[in-house]
Copies of this chain bind each other. A is one copy, B any other.
Amino acid sequence: MDNIVVVRGTASNGIAEEISAILNVPMIGAEYHILADGESYVRIPEKVSGKIVILVQSTYPPQDKHLIELFLLMDAIKSYNPKKIILIVPYLAYLRQNKRFKEGEPISADIMLKMIKNAGADALVTIEPHRPESLVVFGGKSMIADPLPAYVAAVPKGLKKAVVLSPDNGGLQRAERFAKLLGTPFTSIDKERDKTTGKIYIKSESTFDFKNRDVIIIDDVISTGGTVAQAAKFVKSEGANKVLVIAAHLIMVGNCGKKIKNAGVSSITGLNTVPSKGTRVVDASRILTESIEGILRLNEY
């Protein structure tokens, strides 16, 4: 471990410090300011030559700025000729556009991962990248840190007949895995998003009986809160008792928090991959560090 150094990028939200503490290795904070014309300036103020560099750079809003800064940081680190660069992107933006829904669209997820690869990252660690298969494009060593075990301690004790709910069929596996950790049943409701308007509606009624049950809604990202609010309203209308929400990345734009609360949700739990607007924050540093340790072990760096 004496050859490892953590570099805190411009969007780490405290995670770089924690990883440095858990691994017991030094941390270098990137120098950072916005130039008068709006361009970002970064600098790595200490030599990292010959070292294994763990760069922590999330890409929460403003996503484009944090992405460009990621590329600047990679170049600055490479100027020292490090041994390897392990790039930690706790929240990776643009992953939802992972196919051409309509002709003439970009596959944004592939572009971002190719650009990260071209920037010279030897390994990549992220959390809940919408579709894990997107990471194949990265090509290098990539690891997806699993947040589900970390959520368990954040679930309040004494829930009544708890059930884990995915607000769409795409997340059913996530709900199943989390339900197994909690020892509860799980289900999903079927949602559709209109490709043009973006409007979400519940396609068919669930056959699960939510009456008098506490419901834990689990998802990957909460942006506008539309999906989660609609699911909460639905289970409330079906007689559910308490409704809790857990999601990895709480982007939560505009009146998202209010929308979710108004739908009858009592608490929103998320990771610190994004500066949190949730009720409870679960630190992602430990699960990210486990992935880093996996990479170090596998590659014998």
- Measuring CB to CB, which residues of chain A are less than 8 angstroms from any residue of chain B? 31, 35-47, 61-65, 67-69, 71-76, 79-80, 93-94, 96-97, 100, 102-108, 110-111, 114-115, 118-119, 198, 223-224, 251, 253-254
- Chain B residues lying within 8 Å of A43, measured Cβ to Cβ, are 102, 104-106
B61 and A37 contacting across the interface, CB-CB below 8 Å: yes
A111-B71, A118-B114 given; A40·B64 CB < 8 A: yes
The chain B residue with its CB closest to the CB of A62 is B38
- Chain B residues lying within 8 Å of A73, measured Cβ to Cβ, are 106
Q: In angstroms, how far is the closest chain B Cβ from the Cβ of A110?
A: 7
B75 and A36 contacting across the interface, CB-CB below 8 Å: no
- Chain B residues lying within 8 Å of A65, measured Cβ to Cβ, are 62, 64-65
Considering the chains assembled together, what is the distance between the CA atoms of A164 and B36 in angstroms?
27
A104-B80, A105-B76, A115-B118 given; A251·B71 CB < 8 A: no
A contacts with B: majority SS: loop
Q: How many copies does the complex hold?
A: 2
- Chain B residues lying within 8 Å of A38, measured Cβ to Cβ, are 61-63, 253
Q: In angstroms, how far is the closest chain B Cβ from the Cβ of A270?
A: 14
Cβ-neighbour of A71 out of B41, B72, B115 (below 8 A): B115
Cβ-neighbour of A39 out of B39, B46, B63, B115 (below 8 A): B63
Considering the chains assembled together, what is the distance between the CA atoms of A176 and B235 in angstroms?
75
A36 and B254 contacting across the interface, CB-CB below 8 Å: yes
- Chain B residues lying within 8 Å of A76, measured Cβ to Cβ, are 104-106
Considering the chains assembled together, what is the distance between the CA atoms of A62 and B61 in angstroms?
14
- Chain B residues lying within 8 Å of A105, measured Cβ to Cβ, are 42-43, 76, 79
A72 and B108 contacting across the interface, CB-CB below 8 Å: yes
The 3 closest A-B pairs by CB, nearest first: A75-B106, A44-B104, A37-B223
Show 23 residue pairs from A and B whose CB-CB distance is below 8 angstroms, ordered by the A residue: A36-B224, A36-B253, A37-B61, A38-B62, A39-B97, A42-B105, A43-B102, A43-B106, A46-B104, A63-B68, A64-B64, A64-B67, A64-B68, A64-B69, A65-B65, A71-B106, A72-B108, A74-B106, A79-B100, A79-B103, A79-B104, A79-B105, A111-B119
A72 and B111 contacting across the interface, CB-CB below 8 Å: yes
Considering the chains assembled together, what is the distance between the CA atoms of A42 and B35 in angstroms?
28
Q: In angstroms, how far is the closest chain B Cβ from the Cβ of A33?
A: 10
Considering the chains assembled together, what is the distance between the CA atoms of A111 and B119 in angstroms?
8
- Chain B residues lying within 8 Å of A68, measured Cβ to Cβ, are 63-64, 67-68
Considering the chains assembled together, what is the distance between the CA atoms of A76 and B99 in angstroms?
11
Considering the chains assembled together, what is the distance between the CA atoms of A74 and B105 in angstroms?
10
- Chain B residues lying within 8 Å of A40, measured Cβ to Cβ, are 64
A45-B104, A76-B105, A104-B80 given; A253·B64 CB < 8 A: no
- Chain B residues lying within 8 Å of A223, measured Cβ to Cβ, are 35-37
Considering the chains assembled together, what is the distance between the CA atoms of A111 and B67 in angstroms?
13
Considering the chains assembled together, what is the distance between the CA atoms of A105 and B40 in angstroms?
12
Q: In angstroms, how far is the closest chain B Cβ from the Cβ of A79?
A: 6
